[in-house]
């Protein structure tokens, strides 16, 4: 299920958008200012943001620019200004679409579904979680827009984790998937070392990981929703 974040200070409009879009099998998160939106975006995997340009604690355009430093999540602007400069600025800052108030909720829903369809990866090869972006097809990996260099073993391990979120993977499973035919000759310590090195590259604090969790006595787990 896709998760949408609505950032709109008009509570009545925010509620109306949420009710309309929830009918499309979408999970809806609501924020009424930039501060609360930032908390949600940092702790959840958001697939699309509906962002008002005029918010109580700042400009939606400025917030879009900030988001684009670490994420390519699709953004649809809501604006009361049908002014060409605002529209152009929105696109230049990384917006994917815009809609001018007042608008039909059905039209907004159609635009949301169109943007989601355009942005959907063709496979599980591209994953974005918070500041992390992994493109397994292009073999490009970024944290806060800085490229990560991964070994072949780290690459295999990472893909196993991110394509099995929330699932405990025991050590035997991981060794078998990573080293395949050589698995029976691999020392378990090799997995421990690989996990340690991967954590050092993607975690802010490897000693207190938010993504790759150790489940003592069982194995490892990729956290679906990292702690804020």
- Residue range(s) of every CATH 3.40.50.2300 domain in the chain: 3-119
ω into 67 cis (within 30 of 0): no
Higher pLDDT, 179 or 35: 35
H helix runs in the chain, sequence order = 11-21, 34-43, 60-67, 84-92, 105-119, 152-162, 171-179, 188-202
Tens of pLDDT, residues 69-88: 888 889 999 988 667 777 88
Q: Contact, 71 vs 131, CB < 8 A?
A: yes
Q: What one-character DSSP code corresponds to residue 203?
A: -
Tens of pLDDT, residues 87-131: 888 888 889 999 988 899 999 999 999 988 877 654 456 778 888
Provide the CATH topology of domain 3-119.
Rossmann fold (3.40.50)
pTM for the model: 0.55
Tens of pLDDT, residues 23-78: 888 899 999 999 999 999 988 889 999 999 999 999 999 999 999 888 888 999 99
- Residue range(s) of every CATH 1.10.10.10 domain in the chain: 127-222
């Amino acid at each position: 299920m896709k998760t949408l974040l609505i950032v709109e200070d008009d509570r009545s409009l925010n509620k109306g958008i949420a009710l309309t879009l929830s009918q499309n099998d979408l999970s809806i998160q609501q924020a009424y200012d930039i501060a609360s939106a930032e908390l949600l975006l940092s702790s959840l995997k958001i697939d699309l943001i509906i962002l008002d340009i005029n918010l109580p604690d700042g400009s939606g355009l400025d917030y879009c620019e900030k988001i684009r430093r670490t994420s390519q999540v699709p953004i649809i602007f809501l604006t009361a200004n049908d002014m060409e400069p605002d529209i152009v600025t929105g696109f230049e800052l990384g917006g994917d679409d815009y809609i001018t108030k007042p608008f039909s909720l059905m039209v907004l829903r159609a635009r949301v579904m169109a943007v989601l369809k355009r942005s959907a990866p063709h496979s599980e090869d591209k994953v974005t979680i918070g500041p992390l972006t992994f493109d397994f097809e292009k073999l490009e990996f970024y944290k806060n827009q800085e490229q990560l260099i991964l070994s072949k073993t780290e690459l295999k391990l990472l893909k196993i984790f991110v394509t099995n979120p929330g699932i405990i993977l025991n050590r035997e499973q991981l060794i078998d998937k990573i080293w395949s035919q050589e698995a029976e000759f691999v020392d378990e310590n090799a997995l421990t070392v690989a996990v340690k090195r991967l954590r050092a590259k993607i975690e802010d604090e490897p000693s207190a990981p938010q993504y790759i969790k150790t489940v003592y006595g069982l194995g490892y787990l990729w956290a679906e929703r990292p702690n804020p």
